[in-house]
Structure 1
Amino acid sequence: MAQNQPIRIKDGEFQEGLCDFFSGGHCFEGCCCPCIVVNKTQQLLDDPDEKTPSGCGCMGCAWCLLTTFAGMSCFVGWKQRNDMRKRYQIEGGSCGDMWKNLCCPCCSVIQQYKEVEMRRDARANKVGYQTQAPMRAPGH
């Protein structure tokens, strides 16, 4: 996306579908190391202006531990998705959030990361009102 070009955010919905994981360059990372994507998503939820979120942190560790010992990483993705829907006023329900993270966790965490990333970029690239130079009288 070109710099200083506003990004249009659709109200009440995710910007991309659950199966649009190939766009945005997060497919490999999200499928091979979803814990990294989960942590980056959490960092952008905690600090929406973070330019380079880290893949290392508590939420990523929670994802790994819950996957390794209980096979229940869906709860981490569910919580993030639920938090995002509330913050950005995205329609949907808690039950649907759980099913998406239970049935297709990689697709879901990629979609969630892309959502917070796009909303961050939309704020950063917002083109505001530009003042004009003062008018001059003819001949001056």
Structure 2
Amino acid sequence: MTTVPEQDWHYSGTSWCSPLGTCLLSCCCPCVLYGRIRHRSKNAGNMVNYSTFNGDCLAFTGVSCLGVPFILSMISRGDMRAKYHLSGSTAKDCLCAFCCLHCDIAQQDKEVTYREAERRPLMTQPVTEAGMEYKPQEQQPQFHQG
């Protein structure tokens, strides 16, 4: 059985202020950002049929009302680590989500966007290298049969 080696996270947890939209969303409406993360992760990065106020967003809001929004972020982070073979541990997931929820979900949003784009097949025509293009054969003169 082969195991896939763990990779480092492409984005660090301290780079959460860029882009500005993600930063503001993580601070002002973390439930919306959480819903977007889960939708991207479940749908291979496809944002078709995405709704701002989806079930995951509402679940995050409900758990936030109970005062424990970090639980869903911690679970999401663990799911992301498993899916993309990222380094870390359950304890680190808990610490990241509990100590700086806004940084954590901003990091998750950028990471899932990056990883799903990386998995998506190349949608452009491949570039041909020199000597690799098709050249039709020259027509051979036809001989008169008689």
Match of 1:16 among 7, 11, 14: 11
Sort the Cα spacing of 1:92 and 1:50 in 2 relative to 1 into closer, same or farther, 3 A.
same
Please say if residues 35 and 55 of structure 1, whose CA atoms lie closer than 8 Å, have aligned partners that are also in contact: no
Higher relative CO (CA 8 A, sep ≥ 6), structure 1 or 2? 1
Q: Distance in 2 between matches of 1:124 and 1:87?
A: 15
What letter corresponds to residue 119 of structure 1 in structure 2? R
Corresponding residue for 2:35? 39
What are the Cα deviations for residues 28-47 of structure 1, in whole angstroms up to 9, with x where unaligned?
11110000000000001110
Deviations 1:54-105 (A, max 9, x none): 321121111111111x211111001100000000000110010011001100
Q: Counterpart of 2:40 in structure 1: which amino acid?
A: L
**Aligned residue for 1:54?**
51
Aligned twin of 2:80: 84
Per the alignment, residue 134 of structure 1 pairs with: 134
CA distance in 2, matches of 1:49, 1:103: 27
Higher Cα radius of gyration: 2
Question: Quick one: distance in 2 between partners of 1:60 and 1:89?
Answer: 25
Deviates more, 1:52-61 or 1:31-40: 52-61
Whole-angstrom CA distance in 2 between matches of 1:50 and 1:101: 25
How many pairs are equivalent? 129
Distance 1:16 1:128 in 2: 29
Q: 1:44, 1:50 within 8 Å by CA — same for their partners in 2?
A: yes
Provide the secondary structure at the position in 1 that maps to 2:133.
coil
**What residue number does 2:90 align with?**
94
Q: Distance in 2 between the 1:88 and 1:120 partners?
A: 9
Contact persistence 1:85–1:91 (CA under 8 A): yes
Matched, 1:115 2:111: yes
- Which stretches in structure 1 are left out of the alignment for 5+ residues? 1-10
Matched, 1:65 2:62: yes
